[in-house]
Chain A
Amino acid sequence: MKKAIALILTALLTASVCTGCGSSATASTGSTASTAGSVAASAAPSKKVSLNVVTSYGADDGNRKNFEAAYTSWQEKTGNEVKDTSGDGSEDWKVKVMNSFEVGSEPDVLFFWNGADANKLVKNQKVVSIDEIRKEYPDYASNMKEDMLGASPVDNKNYSVPVNGYWESMFVNTKVLSDSGVTVPDSGYTYDQFLKDCAAVKAKGFTPIAVSLHEVPNYWFEFLSYNYSSAATFNKTPETTTDEAGKAWISGLTDLKDLYARGFLPVNTNSTTDADTNNLMSQNKAAFMIDGSWKVGWFEENMKEDMDGDGKADIENIAVTFPPVKGDTRKSTDYIGGISMGYYITTKAWNDPDKRAACVDFISHMTADDVVSKFCSAGSVSALKNGVTAQSDSSSLVKKVNEMNKEVTGISPAVEDLMDNKSVRTPFFADVKNMVVGKVDITKSVASVIDAQKKFLAQTTNAAS
C-alpha cells in the first residue's frame, strides 16, 4: 500500500514538473494558409474572444483617452474583451515589444512603427500583410489612401493600418520667455537669435532647454542635423561620414555639444529622466522643448490648473513653434513628421480561428473615419481618403498647433526611424551624452553607427524573398 502511495505521489510530482513543458497550439507562427480554409470570411466575429492589444497609446500619451473610449465602444458593440497592455512608445517600450515576439508572447494586435523598427517582424513573418488579409476581408482598410499606409522597407508591402500621423516641433513656455524679456519666437526663428534667447533665459535663472540627454536626445539630434539638410534629403542614413547626411549628423551633434557647453541644457541632463525635464516646462522653469504631437495631450492633462496663480490655466503659457533654423538648406517652416505607425495583426492571432475575425473587426473599428478624426485632433495628418473631421472642443494649445501647421512648407520623416532599435539606435543615442561631454569623438561615433546600420540592413532588407 505504501509503495503504491509513494508511486502515485512520485507520478503526480513528475507530472507537475512537466506541465510547463507543453507546447501551445496557438503559439504556432507557421503558414497562414494552413488555417485559412477553416475561418469564415466575415469581419463579424462569431465567438466572444479576448484580444491582447499593445499600442503606444499608454502612459501619458495625448490620445490615451481617445484610445480607451474607442476600444471600450468596440467592446460594448461586440461583447469581446480587449486586454490593453499599451506602453509609452519609448525606446524601452520598443525593446519590450520586440522581445515579446522573440520569446513567443506577442500580442494579437499591435500598434507599432512601420519603418525599420518592424523589419524583423516582417522578415520573420510575425505579422500578416494587408494583401493576405484582403484575400478574406476585401474591405479591410479600404477607407485609407493606399500610398500612405506605410510600406515595409523589407518587401515594400503594406502590413499596418495607420491612425494619426505625427509631427515634431518646438514647445515654448511663454511665461518663462516673458519673465526673461524674450519675445515668443515665430516662423523664421534663426539659430543665432535662439542662442541669444537661451543666454537671456539662463541669465534670469531659468533652464533654457528642457531635455534629458540620458533618455531622449533624439529630438534635438534630429532638428540640429536637419538644419544642415532639407525636407527632401534629410530622411536617409549616411553611407560615410563625409557624404551629405554624414556631415549633417556630425554638424548637428557638434551644435548639441555646443549647447551643452554653453550651459543651456539642464544641469542634470545626463542624470535625469524625460519625465523630470517635462516637469521643468509645466512648472514654468524651462523655456524650450522639442517633442512631438503626442506631447500635446500631456500638456493638456498636466497644465489644466492655474498653479502659477495668474488667473488662467497654465497651458495658456505653452505655445508651439518651428525649431530655430541655421543656414538656408532647410526652410524655417519645415519640420519633421509623417505617418510612421499603424495597427498590425500578428501571425499568431491570424492563425487562431477564434481571433482572426475579431482582430480584423477591431482594427476596422479603431481606424474608422470618426475614430481617426478624434485621434488627429492635435493637428496630426491622417491617411483617410475622406480626410479628418475637425473637432470643435480643441484646447488653446491645439489651436496654436493648427496655426503652426498652416505654415508648414516641408515635412521629412524622422531619420531615427530608419535605424534598428537594438543594434543601431540604442547604442548611438546612449553615446550622445559621451559626445557632448567630449568623452567620445563625434565623427568616430557617427562612423560606428554607419557600420552598425549597414550590418543591420544586410541582415534584414530583401531577406523575406
Chain B
Amino acid sequence: MSSNAMIYKKKKPLLLFLLPPFLFMAIFLYYPFVQNVLNSFLNITELGSKSNGINTPYYENYEKLFHDPLMGVALRNTMLMILLTIVFQVGIALLLALLVDNIKKGSHFFRTAYFFPIVISATALGLMFNLIFMYQGGMINQLLQSIGLQSTATPIDWKDEARALVTMFIPVCWQYVGFYFVILVTGLNNISQELYEAAEIDGATRIQRVHFITLPMLHNTICVCLTLAITGALKVFDLPWVMFPSGMPMDVTWLTGTYMYQQAWKLGDVDYSATIAIIIVLLGVVLSQIANRIFKEKEY
C-alpha cells in the first residue's frame, strides 16, 4: 500500500488539523457564550469588571424580560424585521435574480450594481439615508416640494413616531438585497441548461419554465437564504443605530440588537444585556429550525 493511500486511512493527522480551528471557536465563541449565560444570572454594572454577586432571585433578568415594555417593542420590531426581510430582501433578490438570469447582455453589470450596497459600510449608508430622510432640506422633502406636493412650511418628518419604522426598514431591507441576489444567481447557474432546452422543446413558456424548473431546483438555495435572513435580521444593529439612536423617536424603533447594546454600553446593565443576547441566540436557533422544517431541503 502506498503512503498516499495511508493518509486517508489514518485519521489522527486530520484531527490535528481540526484541533486549532476548534480551539479558536472554543476560546472566542463557546467560552464567551457560556460566560454570557453565567453573566445573565449575576449583577454586573461595568463592562470588564467583576460581578457584585448573584442576582436576587437568580432569574431576575429573565423575569425582567417579561415586564420590560421596551424589550416588548424590540421583540415586536425584530419579528416584523424578520418578516420584511423574508418578503422583501429574499423576495426582491429572487425576482432580480430571475430577471438577470433571463437576459443575455448586461447581466454582469446588473450583478455588480445590485451587489454594490453590500460593500459600503452600514454607517455610511445610515448617514446617507439620514440626509435623504432629513426634515429640513432632506432629499425626499425637497423633491416633494419641487413638484408641488409639499409646502416648504410643512415638511414631512419621516422619522416621527408614525413613520419611523418604515423609514428604518426601507434602507435595512434594501442594503442586503444584493447579498441574497448573488447567492440566488449562483444557484441559478447550477441548474442544467438541458432541462430548459427540453422544456422549450416541449413548448413550455418562460413563466412555466420558472414555475416548474427554476423554483423547484432553487428550493435548497432559497432555504439557505431564508435561514441567513432570519438570523441576520435578529442581529441587525449598525444601520438602525446610525439612523435611530437609542430607540428614537419615543422608543418606537428598538430592535433586539440595538436594545442589547443600549443596556450594556450606555446604561451599564451588563447582566441584563447578556440575558437579551441569550434571547437573540435562542430566537435565532428556534426560528431558523422552524424555517428549515417549513422549507425542508429536498434531494433532486
Contact = CB atoms under 8 A, between A and B. Distances in A.
Contacts of B47: 99, 102-103
Contacts of B136: 276, 279-280, 283, 285
Contacts of B135: 267-268, 271-272, 276
Interface stretch (B111-119, B157-165, B189-197): B157-165
Contacts of B3: 2
24 contacts: A2-B3, A6-B16, A6-B17, A9-B17, A13-B17, A92-B266, A95-B265, A95-B266, A102-B46, A103-B47, A103-B48, A104-B48, A120-B46, A268-B157, A268-B160, A270-B161, A271-B135, A271-B249, A272-B135, A276-B134, A422-B267, A433-B250, A439-B250, A459-B45
B27 A21 contact: yes
The 5 closest A-B pairs by CB, nearest first: A271-B249, A13-B20, A422-B268, A102-B47, A102-B48
A430 interface: yes
Interface in A286-312: none
A102 B49 contact: yes
Contacts of B267: 422-423, 426-427
A205 B153 contact: yes
Interface of A: 2-3, 6-7, 9-10, 13-14, 16-17, 21, 92, 95, 99, 102-104, 120, 205, 214, 267-268, 270-272, 276, 279-280, 283, 285, 422-423, 426-427, 430, 433-434, 437, 439, 459
Given A10-B17, A102-B49, A285-B136, A430 B246 contact: yes
B7 interface: yes
B22 to A, nearest CB: 10
A422 B266 contact: yes
Contact of B20 (A3, A14, A214, A426): A14
Nearest to B26: A17
B265 A99 contact: yes
Given A14-B19, A271-B164, A214 B266 contact: no
Given A14-B19, A423-B268, 14 more contacts: A2-B7, A13-B17, A21-B27, A99-B47, A102-B49, A103-B48, A205-B153, A268-B157, A270-B249, A271-B135, A272-B135, A276-B134, A279-B136, A427-B267
A271 B268 contact: no
B16 A17 contact: no
Given A276-B134, A422-B266, A271 B17 contact: no
Interface centre among A104, A214, A423 (most CB of B within 10 A): A214
Interface string B41-62: 0000111110000000000000
Contacts of B161: 270-271
Which of A6, A7, A17 counts the most B-chain CB atoms under 10 A from its CB? A17
Interface in B149-178: 153, 157, 159-161, 164
Interface in B1-42: 3, 7, 13, 16-17, 19-21, 23-24, 27
B248 interface: yes
Contacts of B245: 92
Contacts of A205: 153
A246 B245 CA distance: 30
Given A95-B266, A99-B265, A426-B267, A271 B7 contact: no
Interface residues of B, number: 35
A348 to B, nearest CB: 14
Interface of B: 3, 7, 13, 16-17, 19-21, 23-24, 27, 45-49, 134-136, 153, 157, 159-161, 164, 245-246, 248-251, 265-268
A267 B157 contact: yes
B32 to A, nearest CB: 13
Nearest to A13: B20
Given A21-B27, A423-B267, A7 B16 contact: yes
A276 B49 CA distance: 37
B287 to A, nearest CB: 30
A367 B45 CA distance: 34
Contacts of A268: 135, 157, 159-160, 249
A17 B157 contact: no
A287 to B, nearest CB: 16
A103 B266 CA distance: 14
A285 B152 CA distance: 13
Contacts of B246: 214, 430
A282 to B, nearest CB: 11
Contacts of B16: 6-7, 10
A267 B45 CA distance: 37
B45 A270 contact: no
A29 to B, nearest CB: 11
A103 B48 CA distance: 5
B20 A271 contact: no
A214 B249 contact: yes
Nearest to A105: B48
A176 to B, nearest CB: 15
B23 A14 contact: yes
Nearest to A104: B48
B75 to A, nearest CB: 20
Contacts of A103: 47-48
Contacts of A214: 246, 248-249
Contacts of A271: 135, 157, 159-161, 164, 248-250
Most buried by A among B21, B23, B250: B250
A452 to B, nearest CB: 10
A363 B286 CA distance: 55
A3 B13 contact: yes
B249 A423 contact: no
A205 B151 CA distance: 13
Contacts of A272: 135, 159
Contacts of A267: 135, 157
Contacts of B24: 17
A46 B226 CA distance: 61
Contact of B266 (A2, A270, A426, A437): A426
A384 to B, nearest CB: 36
B226 to A, nearest CB: 33
> Taking each of A95, A104, A272, A279, which has the highest tally of chain B beta carbons within 10 Å of its own beta carbon?
A272
B161 to A, nearest CB: 7
Contacts of A426: 266-267
Contacts of A13: 17, 20-21
A13 B164 CA distance: 48
Contacts of B23: 14, 17
B173 to A, nearest CB: 21
A70 B90 CA distance: 54
B265 A437 contact: no
A166 to B, nearest CB: 24
A102 B7 CA distance: 49
Nearest to A213: B249
Nearest to B45: A423
